[in-house]
């Protein structure tokens, strides 16, 4: 049994509905998540993130392909899912029970009841002071925290989080980020998280797969993906002439006083030469790393 690869997807597809109601939600996705990583699954609304996570958890079946957790098929060998804790969209709790009671019910169902462990988890997710109130009075963020406590209660090796910062305020988002990094770095867990928030993935994840319309369009180490994408910001005058002379050669965006040119580092001199040759005055040239946001808009826009 392989413990080095936490999640492996082989040509997984999922189509909902029939005939004219057919929705190809996930299309031939393959990916591997190495144990110990924080892996981001990044995509806009409707990209297929939740659908993929539900298939990993064997909550729905793929239309084609196979999904493995620690080398075992999640459907035919689903006891392996005992090693997984998940926070999936719309986690359901008993509204008339308190947060603590809900965790107790879960723990008893899973046969791992331990009052001290429940208290520790409530403390860790920052819910201790609200633990003895009914869940129906919880805010979205509090429910999200309770969901996280529920996911971690049985001390899983692999933690799957579907949009973990949904409904959290800025302070809660920051806490969640630290929490997720600690899960990997201090507790040695593997984390697979989905998000449509680029900053989140950029700050927390080691690797990322970018998914759009059910397909993975990029995959790799976050820093590498971004390093490949840099741009030149040129302060030039007149801006409209600068834009006109560069546009046939490179992707250019004009701003008020500057233009942004998407080029590799070794093409920077050619950009400047072109400008000078067309009598554009160049006042400043600087290189900027593209943010994951720009990168994401570019790849999802271009390939959709």
Ligand X SMILES: Nc1ncnc2c1ncn2[C@@H]1O[C@H](COP(=O)(O)OP(=O)(O)OP(=O)(O)O)[C@@H](O)[C@H]1O
Show the site string, 43-72: x = touches Mg ion by CB under 5 A, - = not: ------xx----------------------
Please give the helix or strand (H or E) that residue 49 lies within, else none.
Answer: helix 49-56
Residue 48 or 85: the one with the smaller Cβ distance to ligand X is 48
Minimal distance in Å, beta carbon 46 to Mg ion?
8
Question: CA-CA distance, 172 to 192, in Å (whole number)?
Answer: 19
Residue 45 or 111: the one with the smaller Cβ distance to ligand X is 45
Minimal distance in Å, beta carbon 247 to ligand X?
34
Residue 49 or 100: the one with the smaller Cβ distance to ligand X is 49
Pick one of ligand X, Mg ion, none as the site partner of residue 196 (Cβ within 5 to 8 A by kind): ligand X
Minimal distance in Å, beta carbon 45 to ligand X?
3
Pick one of ligand X, Mg ion, none as the site partner of residue 45 (Cβ within 5 to 8 A by kind): ligand X
Residue 43 or 85: the one with the smaller Cβ distance to Mg ion is 43
Question: CA-CA distance, 14 to 27, in Å (whole number)?
Answer: 7
Minimal distance in Å, beta carbon 176 to Mg ion?
17
First to last CA, the chain: 38
Query: Cα 15 to chain center, whole Å?
Result: 22
Query: Cα 259 to chain center, whole Å?
Result: 31
Instruction: Provide the pairing of β-strand 64-69 with 72-73.
Output: antiparallel
Pick one of ligand X, Mg ion, none as the site partner of residue 25 (Cβ within 5 to 8 A by kind): ligand X
Question: CA-CA distance, 39 to 195, in Å (whole number)?
Answer: 11
Point out which residues bind ligand X (CB under 6 A): 16-17, 23, 25, 43, 45-51, 196
Residue 216 or 275: the one with the smaller Cβ distance to ligand X is 216
Cβ pair 92, 42 in contact under 8 A = no
Residues 154-193 that bind Mg ion (CB under 5 A): none
Half-sphere exposure of 152 (CA within 13 A, CB side): 26
Residue identified by tokens 């996705």 is 29
Minimal distance in Å, beta carbon 53 to ligand X?
8
How far is the CA of 81 from the CAs of 9, 85, 157, in angstroms?
15, 8, 10
Q: Is 217 exposed, middle or buried (0-12, 13-18, 19+ CB in 10 A)?
A: middle
Pick one of ligand X, Mg ion, none as the site partner of residue 189 (Cβ within 5 to 8 A by kind): none
Pick one of Mg ion, ligand X, none as the site partner of residue 195 (Cβ within 5 to 8 A by kind): none
Pick one of ligand X, Mg ion, none as the site partner of residue 46 (Cβ within 5 to 8 A by kind): ligand X
Minimal distance in Å, beta carbon 49 to ligand X?
3
Residues 92-111 that bind Mg ion (CB under 5 A): none
Minimal distance in Å, beta carbon 279 to ligand X?
49
Closest CB to Mg ion belongs to which residue? 50
> Which pair of tokens denotes residue 132?
């003895």
Contacts of 245 (CB under 8 A, 6+ apart): 274, 275, 278, 280
Partners of residue 289 on adjacent β-strands: 230
Q: Which residues bind Mg ion (CB under 5 A)?
A: 49-50
């Amino acid at each position: 049994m392989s413990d080095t690869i936490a999640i492996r997807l082989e040509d997984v597809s999922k189509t909902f509905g029939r005939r004219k109601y057919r929705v190809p939600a996930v299309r031939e996705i393959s990916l591997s998540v190495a144990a110990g990583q924080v892996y981001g699954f990044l995509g806009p609304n409707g990209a297929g993130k939740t659908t993929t996570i539900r298939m990993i958890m064997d909550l729905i079946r793929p239309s084609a392909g196979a999904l493995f957790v620690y080398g075992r098929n999640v459907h035919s060998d689903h006891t392996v899912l005992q090693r997984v804790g998940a926070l999936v969209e719309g986690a359901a709790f008993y509204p008339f029970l308190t947060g603590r009671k809900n965790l107790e019910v879960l723990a008893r169902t899973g046969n791992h009841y331990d009052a001290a462990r429940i208290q520790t988890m409530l403390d860790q997710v920052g819910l201790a002071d609200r633990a003895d109130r009914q869940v129906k009075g919880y805010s979205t963020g509090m429910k999200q925290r309770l969901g996280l406590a529920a996911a971690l209660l049985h001390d899983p090796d692999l933690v799957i989080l579907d949009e973990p910062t949904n409904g959290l305020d800025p302070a809660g988002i920051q806490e969640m980020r630290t929490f997720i990094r600690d899960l990997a770095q201090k507790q040695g867990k593997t984390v697979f998280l989905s998000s449509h928030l680029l900053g989140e993935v950029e700050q927390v994840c080691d690797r990322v797969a970018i998914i759009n319309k059910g397909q993975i369009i990029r995959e790799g180490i976050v820093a590498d993906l971004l390093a490949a994408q840099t741009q030149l910001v040129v302060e030039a005058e007149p801006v409209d002439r600068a834009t006109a002379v560069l546009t046939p050669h490179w992707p250019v965006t004009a701003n008020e006083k500057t233009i942004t040119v998407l080029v590799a580092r070794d093409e920077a001199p050619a950009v400047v030469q072109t400008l000078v040759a067309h009598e554009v005055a160049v006042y400043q040239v600087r290189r900027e790393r593209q943010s994951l946001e720009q990168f994401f808009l570019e790849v999802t826009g271009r390939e959709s």
